Amino acid sequence: MSLSSSRVAVVTGAARGIGAATAVRLAADGMAVAVLDLDEAACAPVVDAITGAGGRAMPVSADVSDSTRVQAAVARIAEELGPPTVLVNNAGVLRDNLLFKMTEDDWDTVLDVHLKGAFLMTRAVEKYMTQQNWGRIINLSSISALGNRGQANYSAAKAGLQGFTKTIAIELGKFGITANVIGPGFVVTEMTRATAERMGMSFDTLKQHMAGEIPVRRVGEPEDIAHVVSFLASENAGYVSGQVIYVSGGPQG
Ligand code: NAD
């Protein structure tokens, strides 16, 4: 049995999109995977895909911004799957608006899910990682961390995640724990589909436009991100920590 067959991973926002592809990929790598999202029933297709391929997975419902639910969910995962030592903070929402139209609710919702959610999940999972003297934390930021019109809330949350990650990389390194950030560019998911709708254009038109702007001349697929998560979560990635890796078909920043 390889080491990764004994690892337990938690992927938040895993019912669809990048989180779903990541859950499937980590399971294919041999990990048992907690597929965590707001609605447990919505996690079922991802869990079925993993178990159908011979892997181990469980659906878990929790709002990552709710401390009590997070603690209960992580305790349940530890009991049913085993101590979690891989955490992918992927859950996310958009509340895009130009600053003068951005409400406090738009701000709080986005900061709560992305930034506070990552903090709460990491704090809850950390003790299992330190006990095992091994851990991999992978946080989903975005190229929007560098600034993007209409996304003051999202950009602040995604930039905040980078500072959070570098700090925990420093604090937790001595326990064999690494923490890294992936900053995706445009990836085809329900999130970007909704953006096209909000902009009043078809998803195909937006994808075509974006592909023309991206150096590799294509848009990203969830598997492009899952592939990098897989590397950062692997046994051999133990000397990579506190890094921000943009996965966007070209250079950023
Ligand atoms: P998506 O909207 O398709 O999926 C997000 C998932 O998160 C959904 O299943 C949703 O139910 C879940 N979620 C939302 N709020 C939650 C909460 N409070 N608790 C638990 N789960 C919650 O999004 P996606 O495109 O797959 O994005 C995944 C991550 O990647 C997000 O953090 C996003 O900001 C980031 N990202 C996406 C892109 C892109 O182009 N799609 C680009 C850069 C960064």
Residue 253's pLDDT is what?
Answer: 77
Structure tokens at 198: 């909000």
Output the CA 184–ligand 1 centroid distance in Å: 11
154 is catalytic: yes
10: number of Cβ within 10 Å: 30
| pLDDT value at 150 more than 90 | yes
Separation of alpha carbons 18 and 141, rounded Å: 12
pLDDT tens string 117-126: 999 999 999 9
Output the pTM of the full model. Answer: 0.98
Separation of alpha carbons 60 and 51, rounded Å: 15
Residue-averaged pLDDT of the chain:
97
What phi and psi values does residue 150 have, to the nearest 5 degrees?
85, 5
Residue 179's pLDDT is what?
Answer: 99
Separation of alpha carbons 99 and 149, rounded Å: 9
Tell whether domain 4-185+221-247 is in CATH 3.40.50.300.
no
Mean pLDDT within 97-111: 98
Q: Which residue of 189, 218, 246 sits with most ligand 1 atoms within 8 Å of its CB, as the best mutation to test the pocket?
A: 189
Q: In which band, very low, low, confident or very high, does the pLDDT at 2 lie, cut at 50, 70 and 90? A: low
Of the candidates 128, 154, 239, 246, the residue annotated as catalytic is 154
Residue 241's pLDDT is what?
Answer: 99
- Sketch the domain layout of the chain as residue ranges: 4-185+221-247, 188-219
Structure tokens at 239: 């000397």
Helix and strand element counts for the chain (H, E): 9, 7
Q: Is the CB of 17 under 6 A from ligand 1?
A: yes
| pLDDT value at 199 more than 80 | yes
Q: Which residue of 10, 11, 18, 108 sits with most ligand 1 atoms within 8 Å of its CB, as the best mutation to test the pocket?
A: 18
Q: Is the CB of 246 under 6 A from ligand 1?
A: no
pLDDT tens string 44-60: 999 999 999 999 999 99
Output the CA 102–ligand 1 centroid distance in Å: 20
Q: Is the CB of 12 under 6 A from ligand 1?
A: yes
Q: Residue 243 in contact with residue 182, Cβ under 8 Å?
A: no
Cβ burial of 185 (10 Å; 0-12, 13-18, 19+) is: buried
Residue 217's pLDDT is what?
Answer: 98
Residue 1's pLDDT is what?
Answer: 54
Alpha-helix runs per DSSP H in the chain: 17-28, 40-52, 67-80, 104-110, 117-132, 152-172, 190-198, 203-213, 222-232
Comparing CA positions, the residue from 195, 153, 5 lying closest to residue 86 is 5
